[in-house]
């Protein structure tokens, strides 16, 4: 670290400061929008960029990671805020618990394990999150608020305009919106449309190419609303003035009962943070040629989510769009991300009151664009058109549950479905008969044919609980159908065996012993071989029944052949058959009779 500091130059500082300023400017509108959509106050979204952004930039596993409030977290945070008797206090407590969980994950080196979440589940909850975000913005896009019977806007005790009631479930919120459609504010709808045009088409103008679309939308929409005095709701009219000071640090109210109630959503938050942060780190690696440390990243994200609630911030994660913008803006070192946090802090201290005048329709338009990109609907369309039916089922189930129930349930059910489908897929890897003639590992065939006493099978893939019963059933059917004297099972392609698989083989061995048959295993790896040797210790597998290769297995099998069958056999396909009873009476193939 000291060496890096000594090499730090004015040119590097300049590049980092420019990148940090650009990312800070991007973070302002997104922080405001994400905070409000999550049930927090606008300032909490900005504070999150300061605290989490500084910590992750300084200590994270990726040099270019930018952390802050994220769209992916909105539905789960909003659900906690809505259902909890303590409101957003419980969101901060859940974020605090998630921080602890992330530190534990990093300490246990779970960074790589998060990569094993199936893609249909990840795509399903991101698409579901995107749909949920868009749905929550309908009221702001349409300018819907509550009115008194006389037609005046309904105000609360603090003099703020009352928003439409929020409900726990998607369909209730949609019904609430439909019931108030007659009160659409067409000025808000017009302003949202103008903002969308500015976001999507503003960066296409040559001299505005380097200006982020979200910032253009914020500036254009807010300026037009203020200059033309659009009668629309603003942050100030719904939430009050945005303060220009930071709250003093304080612990969220922690109790054992609250921890037990929040542990499930906190785990969901931790998984989302981990997945989003590590995906962002991978994107940063691809763009910069760098290489991140996944477990260090989890530790830093955990620390950030421990400290963010102490200063009134929200749960945070690394964000792909802001991290990408950091690299594209010329970031050279970690100081770019750290300076982004400093710039956001300066904006809070010097210009926070200006944020109070931002119209809600403008923020809603920004969120709609962010959600449409977050949802990766092009990938979803491709998956639905070309993926196997099982993947489509997992994706659709995860999307549906995310939208109609909640994200916690969606992730749990999606993972369970994906696991069952994986087990079903693996259970199709049952033992198959071997064609020794086409097997280069065995050269002892005298001629082609079938031995009436030996049956060869080869197992494929892991022999674990998901395949054990099907595996045992296949072998029992083979015993009944072919009635071999010796059954040789090659295990070279069995990567591992668990205790359920071991019990399945034990059942097969007991069945063979009862039938007076012999089972021989060959080519097992050390882990599988160790579990097979347990059978020898228990006396249900002969001491010579684990062979090193096919040649040795056939030599062992010859000891257990029924001599009466050998005496009358005309196959004689193995070289070793020359030593079996009746070999002398057989006429060699092609000789005169």
Order across the sheet with 432-433: list the strands.
432-433, 454-460, 486-493, 518-522, 546-547
Burial of residue 439, with CB atoms counted within 10 A of its CB: 0-12 exposed, 13-18 middle, 19 or more buried: middle
The pLDDT assigned to 565 comes to: 87
The pLDDT assigned to 590 comes to: 38
Predicted confidence (pLDDT) at residue 578 exceeds the cutoff of 90: no
DSSP 8-state class, residue 497: B
Predicted confidence (pLDDT) at residue 447 exceeds the cutoff of 80: no
| pLDDT single digits (tens) 318-361 | 988 889 888 988 889 999 999 999 999 998 888 888 888 999 99
> Could you tell me how far CA 101 lies from the centroid of its own chain?
16
DSSP 409-460: HHHHHHHHHHHHHHHHHHTT---EE--GGG-TT---BSSS---SSEEEEEEE
Question: Percent of the chain, pLDDT > 70?
Answer: 95
The pLDDT assigned to 5 comes to: 54
HSE-CB at 166 with a 13 A cutoff on CA atoms is 23
Q: Which residue has tokens 């000071």? A: 245
Q: Distance between CA atoms of 239 and 223, rounded to whole angstroms? A: 20
β-pairing, 546-547 with 317-318?
unpaired
| pLDDT single digits (tens) 269-296 | 999 899 889 888 888 888 888 888 999 9
The pLDDT assigned to 1 comes to: 47
Banded pLDDT at 245 (limits 50, 70, 90): confident
The pLDDT assigned to 438 comes to: 65
Find out whether 45 and 314 touch, Cβ atoms under 8 Å: yes
Predicted confidence (pLDDT) at residue 316 exceeds the cutoff of 90: yes
Banded pLDDT at 437 (limits 50, 70, 90): low
Element at 102 (helix H, strand E): helix 88-107
Predicted confidence (pLDDT) at residue 426 exceeds the cutoff of 70: no
Nearest alpha carbon to residue 50 among 67, 70, 72, 30? 67
Banded pLDDT at 232 (limits 50, 70, 90): very high
Instruction: Write the CA distances from 366 to 75, 140, 360, 377, 461, integer angstroms.
Output: 16, 11, 10, 18, 49
Predicted confidence (pLDDT) at residue 592 exceeds the cutoff of 70: no
Instruction: Quote the tokens at residue 465.
Output: 């609980």
The pLDDT assigned to 583 comes to: 62
Task: Give the global pTM.
Answer: 0.75
Which structural domains are found in the chain, ordered by start?
8-181+232-359 (no CATH), 432-585 (3.30.750.24)
Q: Distance between CA atoms of 424 and 412, rounded to whole angstroms? A: 18
Find out whether 171 and 179 touch, Cβ atoms under 8 Å: no
Predicted confidence (pLDDT) at residue 189 exceeds the cutoff of 90: yes
- Strand-pairing partners, residue 445, are 574
Torsion of CA 206, 211, 217, 221, to 10 degrees: -80
Element at 227 (helix H, strand E): helix 213-227
Mean pLDDT calculated for residue range 73-102: 90
Predicted confidence (pLDDT) at residue 122 exceeds the cutoff of 70: yes
- Strand-pairing partners, residue 68, are 317
The pLDDT assigned to 591 comes to: 34
Nearest alpha carbon to residue 453 among 488, 485, 490? 485
3-state helix vs strand vs coil in the chain, percent to 5: 65, 5, 30
- Strand-pairing partners, residue 520, are 488
Predicted confidence (pLDDT) at residue 593 exceeds the cutoff of 50: no
| pLDDT single digits (tens) 291-307 | 889 999 999 999 999 99
Mean pLDDT calculated for residue range 495-520: 90
Stronger pLDDT, 568 or 426, i.e. the higher one: 568
Phi, psi of 234 (to 5 degrees): -120, 175
Mean of all residue pLDDT scores within the chain: 87
The pLDDT assigned to 206 comes to: 86
Banded pLDDT at 399 (limits 50, 70, 90): very high
Instruction: Quote the tokens at residue 451.
Output: 């031995």
The pLDDT assigned to 193 comes to: 96
The pLDDT assigned to 6 comes to: 61
DSSP 202-223: GGGSGGGTTS-HHHHHHHHHHH
Q: Distance between CA atoms of 195 and 41, rounded to whole angstroms? A: 22
Stronger pLDDT, 205 or 443, i.e. the higher one: 205
């Amino acid at each position: 670290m000291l060496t890096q500091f000594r090499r730090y130059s004015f040119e590097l500082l300049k590049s980092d400061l420019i990148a940090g300023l650009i990312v800070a400017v991007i973070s302002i509108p997104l922080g405001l929008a994400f905070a409000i959509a999550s049930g927090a106050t606008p300032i909490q979204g900005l504070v999150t960029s300061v605290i989490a952004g500084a910590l992750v930039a300084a200590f994270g596993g990726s040099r270019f990671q930018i952390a802050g409030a994220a769209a992916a977290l909105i539905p789960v945070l909003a659900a906690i805020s809505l259902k909890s008797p303590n409101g957003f206090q419980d969101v901060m407590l859940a974020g605090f618990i998630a921080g602890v969980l992330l530190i534990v994950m990093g300490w246990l080196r779970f960074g790589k394990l998060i990569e094993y979440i199936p893609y249909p589940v990840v795509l399903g909850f991101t698409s579901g999150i995107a749909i949920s975000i868009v749905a929550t913005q309908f009221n702001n896009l349409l300018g819907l608020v509550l009115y008194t019977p006389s037609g005046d806007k309904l105000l609360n005790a603090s003099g703020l305009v009352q928003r439409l009631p929020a409900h726990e479930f998607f369909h209730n919120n949609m019904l609430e919106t439909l019931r108030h459609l007659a009160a659409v504010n067409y000025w808000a709808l017009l302003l949202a449309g103008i903002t969308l045009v500015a976001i999507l088409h503003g960066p296409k103008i040559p001299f505005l190419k380097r200006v982020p679309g979200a910032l253009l939308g914020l500036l254009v929409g807010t300026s037009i609303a203020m200059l033309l005095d659009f009668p629309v709701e603003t942050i100030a009219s719904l939430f009050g003035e945005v303060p220009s000071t930071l709250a003093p640090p304080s612990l969220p109210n922690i109790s054992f009962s609250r921890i037990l109630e929040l542990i499930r959503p906190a785990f969901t938050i931790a998984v989302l943070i981990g997945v989003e942060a590590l995906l962002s780190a991978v994107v940063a690696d691809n763009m910069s040629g760098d290489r991140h440390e996944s477990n260090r990243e989890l530790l830093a994200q955990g620390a950030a989510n421990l400290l963010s609630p102490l200063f009134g911030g929200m749960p945070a994660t690394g964000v792909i769009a802001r991290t990408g913008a950091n690299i594209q803006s010329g970031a050279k070192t970690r100081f770019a991300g750290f300076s982004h946090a400093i710039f956001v802090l300066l904006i809070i201290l010097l210009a926070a009151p200006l944020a109070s005048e931002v119209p809600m329709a403008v923020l809603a338009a920004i969120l709609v664009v962010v959600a449409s990109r977050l949802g990766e609907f092009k990938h979803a369309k491709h998956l639905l058109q070309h993926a196997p039916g099982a993947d489509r089922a997992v994706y659709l189930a995860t999307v549906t549950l995310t939208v109609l129930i909640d994200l916690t349930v969606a992730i749990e059910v999606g993972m369970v479905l994906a696991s069952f489908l994986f087990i079903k897929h693996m259970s199709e890897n049952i033992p198959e008969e071997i064609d020794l003639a086409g097997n280069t590992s065995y050269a002892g065939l005298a001629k082609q044919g079938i031995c009436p006493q030996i049956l060869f099978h080869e197992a494929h893939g892991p022999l674990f609980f998901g395949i054990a019963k099907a595996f045992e059933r296949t072998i029992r059917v083979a015993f009944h159908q072919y009635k071999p004297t010796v059954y040789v099972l090659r295990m070279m392609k069995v990567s591992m065996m668990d205790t359920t698989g071991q019990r399945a083989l034990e059942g097969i061995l007991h069945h063979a012993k009862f039938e007076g048959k012999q089972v021989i295993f060959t080519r097992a790896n050390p882990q599988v071989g160790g579990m097979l040797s347990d059978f020898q210790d228990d006396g249900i597998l002969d001491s010579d029944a684990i062979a090193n290769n096919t040649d040795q297995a056939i030599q062992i099998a010859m000891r257990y052949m029924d001599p009466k069958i050998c005496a009358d056999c005309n196959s004689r396909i193995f070289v070793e058959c020359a030593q079996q009873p009746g070999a002398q009476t057989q006429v060699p193939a092609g000789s005169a009779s």
